Amino acid sequence: MSRAVALQEKFANRYPRESCGIGMVHLGIGAFHRAHQAWYTDKLLSLYPGNWTISGISLRSPNVRDQLAPQDGFYTLVENDRSGQRMEVIGAVREVLCAPESPAAVLNRLCHPETKIVSLTVTEKGYCHDPATGRLNQKHPQVIADLKNTNQPSSALGYLCEALYRRWKQDLGPFSIVSCDNLPSNGKVLRGLLIEFAKLRDAELADWIDERVTCPSSMVDRIVPATTEKDRQNVQKQLGLEDQGVVVTEGFSQWVLEDNFCAGRPAWEDVGVTMVNDVTPFEHMKLRMLNGTHSTLAYLGFMAGHEFVADAANDSDFQQLLLGMWQDEIIPTLSMPSGIDLQSYAHDLMARYQNPELHHRLYQIAMDGSQKLPQRLLGTLRDHLAANRLPKRILLAIAGWMRYVTGIQENGNSFEVQDPLTPKLQQLAQESGFLNGQLNSEKTSEYVNQLLQIEEIFGRDLANHTIFSQQLTSVLQELTENGVRSVLRQTVIA
């Protein structure tokens, strides 16, 4: 029996999939999308079968297409937590295209009259922007290339702009664009970038986008570790079928979405999505409380020798660090609509991190820190600096990142730092003499100051904040001299 047929049998005709047209295109069809938006949409189609199935686009590698095409887009979603394991075959993804191989097919799908919503998970770096300001990086090689070869784009912005250009010219009407990446005001930022990009091509197109296209902001949340061979074998054992597209996640899921769609939308509110007028407080809550502490665990936990989030979150020194961060440093910066209890949110986060059934690598989260730091940690930091306070745990987290990007572990082993700025970061570590020969505070201070000069991460203000940079230097010096564990004990106890 083919993979497609076996999965279709398990899908058990929960809805008449063949007659549900494709109404959404998703750029960046990785594991997160399949555990989140596609899962919500699958529940929706079970309730109301309609034209909201998904065309998933891989912007880079053919892997997901190669996994899903032979199975007609079906895949198993495994939910793992303390209450047990659940498996479900998801049918919401009807087609998967690999953009570098077939840009014309992707553009045709985006320009299809039935395409009403385009969503994205292209990670922070996929926006070709300056994370500190949210503006387009006009020197980005993909931006330059996509403005030249408009029919063969490579970036999300390039595809969106060309598709909207054609829709404008052919009078096909706009689609809504939903960013599902962990960026603050993701819809607003994306809209600004798209208009900036379009202006470089055709000012009238930019005006049309401005008038007709909406980009609702969204807060998305579900922890989705990278799938392993063991996960696939587990599905094979439990369901008796081969599935190359398995995705493993936790039981928890949240999606808060701004209700601003220019071409209609599915009734996602009926399957647990929260539709609101303003996503901002929810974004701040999630980016600072979840992603901020996730990155903290990633840098410090990894340096201390932990492999998985659950290992670090079950280590009492790290637990104390997180509890202190939430209570004293993050929660006081948030202001939430009534009914949102940040104490219980923090409590639930700890339980999610400690989930022993989820094997979420710290190394996976540590990736692309230069793109993540501003929204995860630096906003909280700035709020404290403005009130003349130095949040010691946030400082420790930033120092942890500075230590991490040297690519050398505490035991002296080197590892690969995955970040678009890696060459620059490691050059600075070399040039400043940090980690070369005898460590001294002058070299550390030089290294810290050089890093703080990277405007796309730290903006213009932080390098000039003397008390902050001095304190950061001394934390980094201690971290390097005495190791994470020792600093953690001092910071946590003090």
Number of chain positions touching ligand CS2 (CB under 6 A) = 9
Q: Of the listed pieces 184-192, 272-280, 288-296, 328-336, which binds ligand CS2 according to CB under 6 A?
A: 288-296
Q: Taking the CA of residue 486 as centre, how many other CA atoms within 13 Å lie in the half-sphere pointing to its CB?
A: 10
Spatial separation of the C-alpha atoms in residues 442 and 110, rounded to whole Å = 54
H-only helix segments in 63-202? 63-68, 103-110, 141-148, 156-169, 186-199
Residue from 72, 221, 231, 383 that binds ligand CS2 (CB under 6 A)? 221
Q: What is the DSSP string of 461-476?
A: TGGG-HHHHHHHHHHH
Nearest 5°: the CA angle 463, 405, 408 is 135
**Closer to ligand CS2 at the Cβ: 364 or 474?**
364
**How would you classify the pairing of strands 218-221 and 53-58?**
unpaired
Name residues contacting ligand CS2, limited to 163-182 (CB under 6 A): 182
Residue nearest to ligand CS2 (CB): 294
Spatial separation of the C-alpha atoms in residues 219 and 465, rounded to whole Å = 31
222 touching ligand CS2, by CB under 6 A: yes
**Closer to ligand CS2 at the Cβ: 244 or 291?**
291
**How would you classify the pairing of strands 75-81 and 84-90?**
antiparallel
77 in Cβ contact with 34 (< 8 Å): yes
223 touching ligand CS2, by CB under 6 A: yes
Neighbours of 449 (CB within 10 A): 15
294 touching ligand CS2, by CB under 6 A: yes
Q: Of the listed pieces 42-50, 186-194, 287-295, 299-307, which binds ligand CS2 according to CB under 6 A?
A: 287-295
Q: Of the listed pieces 103-111, 220-228, 261-269, 331-339, which binds ligand CS2 according to CB under 6 A?
A: 220-228
Q: Taking the CA of residue 379 as centre, how many other CA atoms within 13 Å lie in the half-sphere pointing to its CB?
A: 23
Spatial separation of the C-alpha atoms in residues 127 and 142, rounded to whole Å = 10
317 touching ligand CS2, by CB under 6 A: no
Least distance in angstroms from the C-beta of 417 to ligand CS2: 15
Q: Of the listed pieces 242-250, 286-294, 416-424, 429-437, which binds ligand CS2 according to CB under 6 A?
A: 286-294
Residue from 122, 365, 396, 463 that binds ligand CS2 (CB under 6 A)? 365
**Closer to ligand CS2 at the Cβ: 239 or 405?**
405
Residue from 108, 150, 214, 364 that binds ligand CS2 (CB under 6 A)? 364
Would you tell me which residues interact with ligand CS2 (CB under 6 A)?
182, 221-223, 290-291, 294, 364-365
